Amino acid sequence: MPREVVIVGAGIVGLACAHHLLAEGWRVRLVERGGVAEGASFGNAGALAFTDVLPLASPGILRKAPRWMLDPLGPLALPPAYLPHIAPWLLRFWRASLPDRHRHATEVQSGLMRLAAQAMEAMVESAGLAERLRRNGNLELYESEAEFAASAPGWAAREREGIAFEHVRGARLAELQPGLSPRFVAGTFTPNWMSVDDPHRFALALHADVTARGAALTRGEVRDIAPQGEGVRLTLADGTALTCDACVLAAGAWSRGLARRLGDRVPLDTERGYNTTLPPGAFDLRRQLTFGGHGFVVTPLSTGIRVGGAVEFGGLHRPPNFARADAMLRKAAAFLPGLRTDGGRQWMGFRPSLPDSLPVIGPSRASPRVIYAFGHGHLGLTQSAGTGRIVADLLAGRRPEVAAALRAGRFG
C-alpha cells in the first residue's frame, strides 16, 4: 500500500513538494488554512530568479539600511514598536553579513539555485506548464555612475558562479527597454532570468496537475504536529486528527510556531511585501526591471503590470500600510514616463524570511518523518521545485549534498 504524506501548506512550495512526492509513489494530502496559493504565492513578482545567488545579508545592505530606514516609505521599513521583537533576528542578520558567512551562504545559495533551475525545467515539462514560462531576462537599472560602480563586486561574484550578464548603456539600454527616464545612466541585463505569466495562475495550474495525479486537499488550520508510533499525527483547529506516514511543513510565514512545537527554535520572521498590479497595456514593458537602489521591481504579467517589492518588518498581525505601495507606484511613474497608473489593484503579502537568506529544508528535531520546507524569503517560487526534489530525496532516504547546509539545526 502506498505511503501517505501530509503537506502543511498549499502555496507554491507545498505544491512543488506534492508534485515530486507523487512521482515517488506517495499518496499526498495538502492541508491549507486559506485558499490554494493565496499567500505569498498569490501576489509575488513572478520571477524565476535563478541568477539571484547573493544573500540579502551582505555588507552592502548594511551600509544602505540606516539611510533607507530613515524614510518610512522607503525600501526598508521597521515600525519602532516592532523593534524589540525583531532585534534578535537583526543581530543574526548582521552576523550573516560578515565576509566568511556571506561567502558560505553564497556558495550554498548557488548550489541550491542550480538544483532549483534543473528541477523547475523538469517540473514544468512534466506538469505541462511550459507555455507559462517567459525567458525575457531581467534589466537592473542605475541612476548614477557611483551606483553602477558599487554594483561591481556583486556582479563579479555572479561571474565566478558562471552567471551570464551584460552591462549596457545608450542605444543598447534603450533597445532592451524603450521609454526609460534619462536619469538612468546604465543597466545590467541578465538574459537567463525567467518569469512566469502570473504566479497565482501558475500555482493553480500546478495544483490542477497534482490533483489530477491523485493529491487531495483538506481545508483547515494545523495546530499541532507530533510523532506517533511509526508515523505522524496532525491536529487541526476544529479538533480533527490526521495520521500519516510522513509530514512536510511548508506553511511559509506560519511555520515558526509549528516548528517550535517540534523542538526547533527557527528564527523565522516576516517581511511584508507590497505591490500594485496595473491593467494590461499600462506600459510597453519588455521584461522585468529592477530598481535596486529603491528596492522594487516592475514586472510584465499576463494579468497586467506589477509594481512591487520593498521590505517592511511588522509580523503577521499589524494592519497593511498601503502608502508603501503608493510610494513605489509614484517612483515607477517617474522612472517610466508614460506609465498609466490608474486602475491598479493593491496587495500585501508575507514573505517567510530567515536571517542568512537561506531556507530551512530538512528533518525536524522531533522526527525524520517530519520535513521542513519553509523560509524562502523572496525566492519561494524560484526555489519551489528544487525544494520539492530535496524533500522527496530526504523522505526516500537519499541525502542531497546541498541539504546539509539547510537544516534547522544550523541556528543552534
Instruction: Encode pLDDT of 250-296 as tens digits.
Output: 999 999 999 999 999 999 999 999 999 999 999 999 999 999 989 99
- Whichever domain contains 370, its CATH number is 3.50.50.60
Whether residue 183 is contained in a domain is answered as no
Instruction: Encode pLDDT of 344-384 as tens digits.
Output: 999 999 999 999 999 999 999 999 999 999 999 999 999 99
Q: All 3 cell numbers of residue 57?
A: 545579508
- Short-list 87, 63, 56, 92, CA closest to 266: 92
Q: Please give the torsion angle defined by the CA atoms of residues 37, 40, 41 and 46, in that order, rounded to the nearest 10 degrees.
A: 160
Instruction: Encode pLDDT of 56-79 as tens digits.
Output: 888 777 677 677 766 777 788 888
The phi and psi torsions of 192 (rounded to 5 degrees) equal -90, 0
Partners of 14 in the β-ladder: none
Partners of 272 in the β-ladder: 312, 350
Whether residue 48 is contained in a domain is answered as yes
Q: How far is CA 353 from the centre of its chain?
A: 9
Q: All 3 cell numbers of residue 282?
A: 499600462
When divided into structural domains, the chain yields a total of 1
Whether residue 390 is contained in a domain is answered as yes
Instruction: Encode pLDDT of 1-39 as tens digits.
Output: 569 999 999 999 999 999 999 999 999 999 999 999 999
DSSP letters, 104-141, are: HHHHHHHHHHHHHHHHHHHHHHHHT-GGGEE---EEEE
Whether residue 252 is contained in a domain is answered as yes
Whether residue 64 is contained in a domain is answered as no
Whether residue 23 is contained in a domain is answered as yes
Full-model pTM: 0.95
Whether residue 200 is contained in a domain is answered as yes
Of all residues in the chain, what percent carry a pLDDT higher than 70?
A: 98
Whether the CA torsion 372, 95, 296, 317 is positive or negative: it is positive
Per-residue pLDDT, averaged over 38-61, amounts to 89
Helix axes 12-23, 380-395, angle to 10 degrees: 30
Of all residues in the chain, what percent carry a pLDDT higher than 90?
A: 88
Domain of residue 261, residue span: 1-54+99-134+193-268+354-412
Whether residue 32 is contained in a domain is answered as yes
Helix axes 12-23, 99-127, angle to 10 degrees: 60
